[in-house]
Amino acid sequence: MDASTVAGAGLILNLSDDGIYAAHVNGKDLVVYTNPASENKETQMARIKENGVKYLRFCPTPASSRGPNGNSERRLLSANDSRITVWQLEPLQIFAEIENLEPGALSLDFGSDGNEILVFHAWNTKLTIHSLDAGRSSVIKTPKAAHALGFGYRPHTRQFAILLKPDASDLLTIHAPQSYELVGRAILPTIDAQGLKWSPDGKWIAVWDVASGGTKVLIFTADGQLFRTYTGPAGSDEAFDLGVKQIEWSPAAGPNGPSEVLAVGKVNGTIDLLRTRTFSSSITLSHVFPADQIAPTIWRERFTSALGDGDYVETISSSAANMSPESSGPLRGVTMLTFSSDGNLLATVDSTRSNVVWIWALDGTPRLAAALVHEQPVRQLTWHPSTPQLLINTITNTLPTIRWWSPNTHPVIARVPTQRSESGKYEVKWLAESEPDSAFWFASTDEYVVGYLSAEDDSVKFEVLNSVTSQGYGGHAGSMMSR
């Protein structure tokens, strides 16, 4: 849903980060949808000067201004190989243009807000930051990567951190907001740094090394000073250390609270939880299900009709491993790692058991709270932005369905009335500040629907609020599934 848009490839929607706006390109027509879950929904259309749009992006939305009327400066970027156009949304019209782009750009996106445009040039030779309000550009040479793990903005104050590769060594540099003047620089003791992430409280930057070098996570202060190096739990055998696959910070505890946990997902399928007070491993979680461990609930997906309708049934914990086929793909390790909004729950997927979602409770002593076993690999996990509700999206080329889990409630599987995708790949995204609560987008390649799950007797129904196709807004009835 947030992929680049290629003209002629059918309906591919791009959503704002809060789901309040959506846009797609049809030939030279740019179509923007506003307030999709509201009775005041709107459709705006504008003409693009040239065919061949490859990028379609909404600017980032500060949490303080989320909502359909929270920010009058929200903008949209469209671009092809030679021109970037920035649109203001209300009303939809051109705000600025950047022409005569160098060919072969690797990535285009907004910077810290709607007034900055990032252009990663071919071969990662340089990053150009265009300031629309100041009318000038800044250049940072030899960025290591053009993807989102190679750079990031500090929460609240918006300092810019980026990994560079000018020669044999990796560099971490910190730049001032707006001016992008260099304020911090560190040569990294890494073989091949894989990415960086700011903590949500803005106090730390974590950089992790390539897995072949073993576990190595570097913790820097916000000004680029090395604070700690984590190389694995004390007493661990380095001969069996397969390194780091990915990392994830827990959310900040309140507006000014700390990010208390850094989760380090390993190639061997384990997860080290580091407390930010010391950045030492407090406990290691394992996707290898212990024979003597009894989880509160293990849920197994089962089909209830030949069409592909299904529900969850509770099963015994010892059978979870038997229902988890090994992955035949080349990927290894923890492939998904995501915290609930309050940081008390952690949902994970391991590539060797790609059809199982593991949910860990982190309040008190970390423990396995639940596991959900599916017939097909899990494609996507997404927590609700404010309540402990998890949407699980699996790869299925039968019925379009969504899986939902929340603590102390029977999980459900509900059919979504949208076009079936032959690839089996759907996308889902929560819609912030929607009425009723817990509305979300569900997407196939041809149609996007907005709706929510409602309980009715012993069944759950997906209630459609709106649908979007290349012809605009639509709507149709929901589909019911039994628990």
Residue 94, in any domain of the structure = yes
Residue 43, in any domain of the structure = yes
Query: How many degrees, rounded to 5, is the angle at CA 197 between CA 191 and CA 198?
Result: 135
| pLDDT tens digits along 261-301 | 999 999 999 999 999 999 988 788 988 765 455 557 899 99
User: In this structure, are residues 211 and 195 in contact, taking their beta carbons and an 8 Å threshold?
Assistant: no
Residue 238, in any domain of the structure = no
Q: Taking residues 103-121, what's their average pLDDT? A: 96
Helix (H, G, I), strand (E, B) or coil at 130: strand
Residue 362, in any domain of the structure = no
Residue 247, in any domain of the structure = no
Residue 25, in any domain of the structure = yes
| pLDDT tens digits along 368-377 | 999 999 999 9
Domain that holds residue 111: 1-121
For CA atoms 244, 250, 251, 257, give the dihedral sign.
negative
Asked whether residue 256 carries a pLDDT value surpassing 70, the answer given is yes
Asked whether residue 322 carries a pLDDT value surpassing 70, the answer given is no
- Measured CA to CA in angstroms, residue 109 lies from 2, 85, 115, 137, 373 at distances of 12, 11, 11, 15, 37
Q: What is the dihedral of CA 32, 36, 42, 47, to 10 degrees?
A: 10
Asked whether residue 473 carries a pLDDT value surpassing 90, the answer given is no
* pTM for this entry: 0.91
Residue 114, in any domain of the structure = yes
Residue 91, in any domain of the structure = yes
| Per-residue pLDDT, 460 | 86
| DSSP secondary structure letter of residue 287 | S
The domain that contains 64 carries what CATH number?
Answer: 2.130.10.10
Number of domains in the chain: 1
